[in-house]
Amino acid sequence: MPTRAAEQNPGVVAAAKQVTEHAGTLAKLKLELLRLELKTKATAVGLGIGAAFVALYGLGFLFATIAVALAIVLDTWLALLLVTLGIFAIAGTLGLLARAGLKGGAGPARDNGHG
C-alpha cells in the first residue's frame, strides 16, 4: 500500500528500487570475486605442494650423491652409513630446536577479565 509521501514523490520509490538492485548486484559481484580469489590461491597452494615434492626428491638425490662421492674413498656400506647417520643427526637437531621453540615460546596472551 503506497504511502502519501510515495504518492507525492514517485522518484523516491524508483530510487529505492534502484538502490536495492545495485545492492544485489554488488553482493553477487563480491561473491564472484571471492570465488576467483580462492581459485587463484588454491592453484598457488597446489603449485607450492608440487614444488615441495620436487625439492624433496632433489634432497634425496643430493644425499645419494654425497654417499656415492664418499664411496670413492670408503666402502659403499660405510659411505651409506655415514650419510644415514648425518641425516639422523640433522633431523635430531631440528627436532630439539623445534621442541625448545615450543617450550620456550610464550603462548597467546590470556584475558583474565580484570581489565
- Grid cell at residue 87: 641425516
The angle formed by the CA atoms of residues 80, 95 and 88, to the nearest 5 degrees, is: 10
Model confidence pLDDT, tens digit, residues 59-72: 999 999 999 999 99
Q: Compute the mean pLDDT over every residue in the chain, rounded to the nearest whole number.
A: 86
Window from 2-16, 17-31, 74-88 with minimum mean pLDDT: 2-16
CB 51 within 8 A of CB 58: no
When comparing pLDDT for 2 and 9, which is higher?
Answer: 9
pLDDT for 110 equals 60
When comparing pLDDT for 107 and 25, which is higher?
Answer: 25
For the chain, give the percent of residues with pLDDT over 70. 83
pLDDT at 75 over 90: yes
pLDDT for 34 equals 93
**Domain range list for the chain:** 11-104
Give the Cα separation of 111 and 106 in Å (integer): 14
Q: Supply the pTM of this predicted model.
A: 0.57
Give the Cα separation of 99 and 26 in Å (integer): 49
Our measurement of the distance from residue 21's CA atom to the centroid of its chain's CA atoms, rounded to an integer in Å, reads 36
